[in-house]
Amino acid sequence: VDGAKDWSAIDRAVYVHSSTNLQQHLVDGPMVLTRGEGVRVFDGDGKAYIEAMSGLWCAGLGFSEKRLADAAYKQMTTLPYYHNFQGKTADVTIELAERLVALAPKPLTKIMFASSGSEANDTAIKLVWYYNNARGKPAKKKIISREQAYHGVTIAAGSLTRLKAIYDGFDLPIDRIRHVGCPHHYKLAQDGESEEQFATRLADELDAKIREEGPDTVAAFIAEPIMGAGGVIVPPATYFEKIQRVLKTHDVLLICDEVITGFGRIGTMFGAEKFGIAPDIMTLGKQMTSAYAPMSAILMRESIFESIAAESGKRGTFGHGYTYSGHPVSAAVALETLRIYEERDILGHVNRITPTFQSLLESYSNHPLVGEVRGEGLLAAVQLVQSKSPKKFFDTTAGLAKYLVARGHEHGVILRVLQNDAVAFAPPLISTEDDLKQIADLFGRALDDTLKVARERGLVN
């Protein structure tokens, strides 16, 4: 287009991207998007991409929901900002707090706000530490997360995260953070080990870890109901039941990270409901505002609140919160998001289209490159394998999943690589069956392109 800016050159000149090989990026350049409509986004040349990832698992209501824009505008022209320090709050933020507590799993009765998932998880850790100080257990501070987990990138949340790309080179994890195994049966179970046996082994491992560290030093365990960025790992059916039994034995709190699974992604408002999880603390983000404004939240049990309230009474203040915690514009957008969920029965829609979505992806399970198709609701991953039997995974440097995702972009679908050897799907919750068919179809073309390259490189037969 005449007179159009060369965004690619400008980007390369000034922009440091997240989760990107910065050196390679100088060669490849950015993917610059200029517009969104429904479940599609468009680049400067007008090329449409169907979004199979809702951005970063968050634009649940798509990219052109006027009601959310109107709610933001209305709030911006009424009370565009107020903070929540020293007892002040915007009315709309209180309304949202009440609404979320009403929706949340029962034991959770109090809420705080932040702006990102990382901040929410950092806040959860600080709450746990403050709580154990309040309980007279100042040595009980270690937090356990799982291999492959993603809980954010700030110094504490980045320490919980066990993806090499996130901690490598950053001197993480910090002290007081420990890790146990990831519940991916297909990849990590021993030969002949059933899902049930695998779940028992992981719970035993957690129990042993807590005993080894000393239960008086372990404060909390953090987990997503389904690991998202770690690979869309759906745990064995009895995993959380067994894990929760171990945590109870040792008086260790459970932090449930629902940043991806919250707000209907897997067919229930929160993933905890689906997996029988009774969290002590729950963190939310992403789809809470359908990505139209940054916002995250931390919910806690009444007993945790009572202890920290008493402690803050003694100390004179509870010194935690952010400038933009409970931002009124984000709160207004979150409230409107929840109204839309109710009026349009978004959860009902997700549950109606889930069988189509999962079976469209399942139809690729006979493809030579596909070892496993896994997921729940509108969250899924396709696991690439070099060979199905005997099971052999690609070397992480083979770059085939990355190639597949790049081919997907060429064909007009936005996908995402996980763990270098799987492809993730998290389409907007408003997707139609036709949208899902298009996603599956374009993915299939990219998969065939990848098979061709894998064969040319002699990686598969």
Identify which of residues 125 and 400 has a Cβ nearer to ligand PMP in the complex. Answer: 125
Site for ligand PMP in 324-383 (CB under 6 A): none
CB of 288 to ligand PMP, least distance (A): 10
Question: Considering Cα of 6, then 9, then 14, then 19, what sign does the dihedral take?
Answer: positive
Among 92, 119, 39, 68, smallest CA distance to 285 is for: 119
CB of 324 to ligand PMP, least distance (A): 13
Among 147, 108, 65, 458, smallest CA distance to 299 is for: 108
For the chain, the C-alpha Rg in angstroms (whole number) is: 22
Distances in whole angstroms, Cα of residue 35 to Cα of each of 17, 334, 439, 445: 20, 22, 19, 25
Q: Which stretch binds ligand PMP (CB under 6 A): 221-229, 356-364, 386-394, 407-415?
A: 221-229
Site for ligand PMP in 42-61 (CB under 6 A): 56
Question: Considering Cα of 59, then 63, then 68, then 69, what sign does the dihedral take?
Answer: positive
CB of 4 to ligand PMP, least distance (A): 31
Token pair for 35:
């517009």
Judging by DSSP bridges, how do beta strands 281-284 and 218-223 pair with one another?
unpaired
Burial 2-21 (b: 16+ CB within 10 A, else e): eeeeebeeebeeeeeeeeee
- Count, residues near ligand PMP per rule CB under 6 A: 15
| Bridge partners of residue 284, in order along the sequence | 297
CA 279 to chain centre: 17
Helix, strand or coil, per DSSP, at residue 123: helix
Whose tokens are 């209180």? That residue is 94
Token pair for 189:
């179970």
Per residue, what are the HEC states of 189-207? CCCCCCHHHHHHHHHHHHH
Among 65, 122, 207, 257, interactor with ligand PMP by CB under 6 A: 257
Residues in the chain: 461
Among 271, 285, 371, 427, interactor with ligand PMP by CB under 6 A: 285
Query: Is position 259 an interface residue for ligand PMP (rule: CB under 6 A)?
Result: yes
What CA–CA distance (Å, rounded) separates 434 from 413? 14
Among 55, 62, 152, 328, interactor with ligand PMP by CB under 6 A: 152
Other beta carbons within 10 Å of 434: 9
Distances in whole angstroms, Cα of residue 336 to Cα of each of 17, 72, 140: 31, 9, 40
CA 442 to chain centre: 24
Identify which of residues 123 and 386 has a Cβ nearer to ligand PMP in the complex. Answer: 123
Question: Considering Cα of 282, then 288, then 292, then 297, what sign does the dihedral take?
Answer: negative
CB of 261 to ligand PMP, least distance (A): 8
Among 224, 280, 376, 421, interactor with ligand PMP by CB under 6 A: 224
Query: Is position 287 an interface residue for ligand PMP (rule: CB under 6 A)?
Result: no
CB of 260 to ligand PMP, least distance (A): 5
Q: Which stretch binds ligand PMP (CB under 6 A): 19-27, 47-55, 100-108, 116-124?
A: 116-124
Query: Is position 260 an interface residue for ligand PMP (rule: CB under 6 A)?
Result: yes
Identify which of residues 271 and 408 has a Cβ nearer to ligand PMP in the complex. Answer: 271
Q: Which stretch binds ligand PMP (CB under 6 A): 137-145, 254-262, 408-416, 424-432?
A: 254-262
- Give the residue nearest to ligand PMP (CB): 117
Among 206, 223, 229, 335, interactor with ligand PMP by CB under 6 A: 229
Query: Is position 173 an interface residue for ligand PMP (rule: CB under 6 A)?
Result: no
Q: Which stretch binds ligand PMP (CB under 6 A): 110-118, 136-144, 178-186, 235-243?
A: 110-118
Query: Is position 233 an interface residue for ligand PMP (rule: CB under 6 A)?
Result: no
CB of 88 to ligand PMP, least distance (A): 25
CB of 445 to ligand PMP, least distance (A): 27
Site for ligand PMP in 122-151 (CB under 6 A): 150-151
Among 54, 84, 93, 118, interactor with ligand PMP by CB under 6 A: 118
Where do contacts with ligand PMP occur on this chain (CB under 6 A)? 56, 116-118, 121, 150-152, 224, 228-229, 257, 259-260, 285
